[in-house]
């Protein structure tokens, strides 16, 4: 509704996981580099955790866009399947056609292993990202451990990134998963962005959306946004989106503290 008024090419504060809007905060940059290191060094199992709305999926999508053509990737957004179905989904996303669409777990694993050996012989790497991994059952996580056993004498054939909410961290502490927990080579827990970076985050998104130079969030508005969001990117987006709608209604290019506080009450 306000897109034309502010001359945006697109909405700057959508809550979709768009890599084009990725903001390289200190913590997001650290998380990105941890994952990139784990992939490039073929560390096997990597874990990224964080609260809802902290940007985990956006980091993963940005990472996928960053990897070169020598890295084959699969992104599983909803792991709520059986162990066999999860394997089938991984194979499908990697572009592998299972033999006769096999539902036999052993055949699926053999097919994956052959694919991994072939890719490794070509100098390629293979990465599987499983989002919302806190929803994986114990049996599925055990299968992840077994897949991590696919290796040569020199390196892991498959890099698996488990991405999830803090519940994943605690689930991995279970005694039944201690073998998997010991195999995790790279871990990173992402926190919300610092107060000092909130203004830069907002103006980064405005710049990507080609915002007019007239549009201004006052210092008081920035402070109020941090107060109500505590630096959680998704909450910042929701507040700013509502504030721009309020600004459009008032036909103003100045977003102040009063507007933010009013929008925060409406959002709640």
pLDDT at 255: 96
- Average confidence (pLDDT) over 57-84: 91
Q: What is the mean pLDDT of residues 236-245?
A: 96
Spatial neighbors of 113 by CB under 8 A, at least 6 apart, are 150, 157
Q: In the chain, how long is the greatest CA-to-CA distance?
A: 66
Mean pLDDT of 230-251: 95
- Are 117 and 154 contacting, i.e. CB atoms less than 8 angstroms apart? no
Contact 64/35 with Cβ under 8 angstroms?
Answer: no
Structural domains of the chain sorted by starting position, each given as residue range(s) with its CATH number in brackets: 26-190 (3.40.50.300), 195-267 (1.10.8)
Average pLDDT of the chain to the nearest whole number? 92
Burial (CB count within 10 angstroms: exposed 0-12, middle 13-18, buried 19+), residue 253: middle
The residue ranking higher by pLDDT, 31 or 3, is 31
Average pLDDT (157-164) is 96
Q: Residue 61 above 70 pLDDT?
A: yes
Residue 59 pLDDT level (bands cut at 50, 70, 90): very high
pLDDT digits (tens, 9 = 90+) for 123-148: 999 999 999 999 999 999 998 998 99
Question: Is the pLDDT confidence value at 200 over 90?
Answer: yes
Look at residue 97 and tell me whether its pLDDT is greater than 90: no
Q: Residue 125 has what pLDDT?
A: 96
Q: Report the alpha-carbon distance of residue 243 to residue 21 in Å, rounded.
A: 19
d(CA 83, CA 137): 9
Buried b / exposed e over 225-244, threshold 16 CB at 10 Å, is bbebbebbbbbbbbbbbbbb
Residue 108 to residues 82, 91, 130: CA-CA distances in angstroms? 13, 8, 18
């Amino acid at each position: 509704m306000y897109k034309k008024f502010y001359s945006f090419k697109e909405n700057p504060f959508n809550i979709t996981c768009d890599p084009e809007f990725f903001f390289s905060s200190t913590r997001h940059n650290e998380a990105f580099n941890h994952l990139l290191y784990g992939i490039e060094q073929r560390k096997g199992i990597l874990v990224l955790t964080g609260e809802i709305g902290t940007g985990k999926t956006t980091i993963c999508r940005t990472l996928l866009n960053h990897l070169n053509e020598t890295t084959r990737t699969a992104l599983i957004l909803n792991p709520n399947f059986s162990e066999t179905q999860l394997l089938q989904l991984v194979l499908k996303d990697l572009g592998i056609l299972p033999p006769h669409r096999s539902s036999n777990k052993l055949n699926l694993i053999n097919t994956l292993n052959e694919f991994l050996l072939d890719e490794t012989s070509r100098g390629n790497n293979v990465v599987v990202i499983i989002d919302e991994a806190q929803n994986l059952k114990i049996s599925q996580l055990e299968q992840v451990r077994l897949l991590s056993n696919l290796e040569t004498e020199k390196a892991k054939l498959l890099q698996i990134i488990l991405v999830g909410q803090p519940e994943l961290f605690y689930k991995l502490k279970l005694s039944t998963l201690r073998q998997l927990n010991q195999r995790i080579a790279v871990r990173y827990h992402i926190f919300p962005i610092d107060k000092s970076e909130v203004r830069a985050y907002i103006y980064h998104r405005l710049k990507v959306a080609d915002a007019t130079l007239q549009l201004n969030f006052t210092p008081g508005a920035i402070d109020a946004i941090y107060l109500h969001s505590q630096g959680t990117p998704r909450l910042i987006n929701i507040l700013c989106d509502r504030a721009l709608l309020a600004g459009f209604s008032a036909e103003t290019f100045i977003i102040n503290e009063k507007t933010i506080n009013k929008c925060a009450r409406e959002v709640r």
